[in-house]
Structure 1
Amino acid sequence: MNSTTNPNPVLLVHGINDTAAVFAKMAPQLLRKGWRVHDIDLTPNNCDRPLDYLAQQIANYVEKTFPPEQPLDIVGFSMGGIVSRYYIQRLGGIDRVQRFITISSPHHGTVLAYLLERPGSIQMRPDSPFLADLNRDLTMLERINFTSIWTPFDLMIVPPTSSQMQVGRDIQVPVALHAWMITDPKAIASVIVALSEPLRQHHPLGQTPPLQKSPKIDSNI
């Protein structure tokens, strides 16, 4: 059982060309630990529409699924982490979400996004106006428990350090492949730890404390 007495429901948000089925290993483990797990199928999932269009789907899902007074936690994988950031930072999710975990998300873009000329992929390019806008408001994420989990061996998020943020908690997990970040036991254990953490003290906007560095997780654990 997780360490919270009344855990928030957890919403899992998938990445590009995926569906909620991609969490087939993670979701059952969270359920066994006592969380109520929800997921969403973003459509279209291939970047044919802008990421803010997909973020509105998260906002609609939250509004229809949870009562107004119910806080929740979000776990976003890859593109799903960026879509979730837009929901939190631009669509009012900051007032609903208490713990936000991104897994191998291109917070500062990925050069592989240049391979697709689609609205969503253009928004995930390094230095895109979309990401620049979100990253101007990083201090907003200090109002919640924010954790970025990533692997230095990522070949989809290039460079892998694009998943690092200047706020919240930074957890590096030595997983060999991008897709394994939501199936690897070490990565899932990191998600469970982040979801179990007590809520931190909220910090006023503009007074961001230093990035909290977590030790690297040894590959033989």
Structure 2
Amino acid sequence: MNTQHQQRNPVLLVHGINDTGAVFNKMARYLRQEGWSVYTLDLLPNNGAGLLDQLAQQVANYVSTNFEPKQPLDLLGFSMGGIVSRYYVQRLGGIKKVQRFITISSPHQGTVVAYGSWLSGCVQMRPNSPLIKDLNSDVEMLKQLNFTSIWTPYDLMILPAKSSQMPIGKEVILPVALHPWMLKDSRTLAVVAKALAEPINTYPQSGYVPNSQKSPLDSDNT
């Protein structure tokens, strides 16, 4: 992969429920070896007891503390972290700072697994929750940046798995067996690196990438 002439923004990785930034250890190590500056944070509480919009404020605070005001940023959110990151981008001004935005196995349309808990953050991840509806009401604003959704059809945490689909940006489907394995699978790491190396604003402005069409991101994942 020849990315030496591409603009390398710092990359912030946002973890999911019951995780910490350490869940990205393999991915962070891989990306650093490829030349990126990688940052992680620990959301508190991380067990779904906190409202996702309040966790998003932690992301906003981390960004304002660790990056210069004019420093562009690339953002990746895993699972719940993808929704937290969306709230930061769509509601807390992140759209002005983030240039590339990647989600991995995130419940963009909610997940029925969230019905198993009454913790406030879990309730917000239920299908058709007020927060999910709110973020999807103006999802078109994400066309302003490079957006990629990566997901597996075998996910047992995001149900239905196609809840990770978005009507904008680029979609990459990887046949990874389990939800947590998405962060360690070599195919995921390669797709993430390619997405982070893409020139800004080259993605399709609307519609999914049909499964029958190979994309530049998954061309070597067969």
Select between 126-135 and 208-217 the one with higher mean Cα deviation.
Answer: 208-217
1:210 correspondence with 2:211: no
| Cα offsets for 1:37-82 (capped at 9, x unmatched) | 0001000001111000000000000001001010000010000000
Structure 2 CA distance, aligned partners of 1:188 and 1:127?
A: 31
Residue equivalent to 1:73: 74
CA distance in 1, matches of 2:44, 2:128: 25
Note the 1:81-120 alignment, pairs <5 A: 81-120=82-121
Cα distance change of structure 1 residues 47 and 4 upon mapping to structure 2, 3 Å threshold: farther
Helix, strand or coil: the match of 1:171?
strand
Q: Which consecutive residues of structure 2, in runs of 5 or more, have no partner in the other structure?
A: none
Quick one: distance in 1 between partners of 2:118 and 2:136?
Answer: 23
The number of aligned residues is 217
For the 8 Å contact 2:15–2:23, the answer to whether it is kept is yes
TM-score (norm 2): 0.93
Tell me, in whole angstroms, the C-alpha distance in 2 between the residues paired with 1:159 and 1:198.
32
Runs of 4+ in 1 over 6 A off after TM superposition: none
Task: Please give the TM-score of this superposition, normalised by the length of structure 1.
Answer: 0.93
Tell me, yes or no, if the aligned pair for 2:11 and 2:76 is still in contact at 8 Å: yes
1:52 equivalent in alignment to 2:53: yes
Distance 1:166 1:220, change over 3 A: closer
Match of 1:16 in 2: 17
Deviations 1:6-36 (A, max 9, x none): 3000000000000000011100110011100
The structural deviation recorded for 1:218 is 8.5
Distance 2:82 2:5 in 1: 24
Give the conservation status (yes or no) of the 8 Å contact 1:3–1:197: no
For residues 69 and 192 of structure 1, what CA distance do their matches in structure 2 show? Answer: 23
- 2:199 and 2:89 map into 1 onto residues whose CA distance is 20
The answer to whether the Cα contact below 8 Å between 1:2 and 1:34 also exists between their aligned partners in 2 is: no
Distance 1:4 1:52, change over 3 A: farther
Distance in 2, matches of 1:58 and 1:105, equals 17
- Residue type of the alignment partner of 1:18: D
Say if 2:199 is the partner of 1:189: no
Report if aligned partners of 1:106, 1:163 keep a CA contact under 8 Å in 2.
yes
1:170-210, Cα deviation, whole Å (9 max, x unpaired)? 0000100000000000111111111110001699xxxx533
The CA deviation at 1:139 is: 0.5
**Aligned partners of 1:140 and 1:196: how far apart in 2?**
22
Please tell me whether the aligned partners of residues 79 and 105 of structure 2 are also in contact (alpha carbons under 8 angstroms): yes
Q: Report if aligned partners of 1:171, 1:215 keep a CA contact under 8 Å in 2.
A: no
The one-letter amino acid of 2:11's match is: V
Contact map agreement 1:4 1:196 (CA 8 A) in 2: no
Q: Work out the percentage of aligned pairs sharing the same amino acid.
A: 57
Kindly indicate whether the alpha-carbon contact (under 8 Å) linking 2:112 and 2:159 is maintained by their aligned counterparts in 1.
Answer: yes
Question: Which residue in the other structure is 2:29 paired with?
Answer: 28
Deviation at 1:3, TM superposition (A): 4.6
- CA root-mean-square deviation: 1.9
SS in 2 for 1:27: helix
Match for 1:153: what amino acid? Answer: Y
Distance (Å, rounded) in 2 between the aligned partners of 1:133 and 1:45 = 22
> 1:142 maps to what in 2?
143
Structure 2 vs 1, CA of residues 28 and 119 (structure 1 numbering), >3 Å: closer, same or farther? same
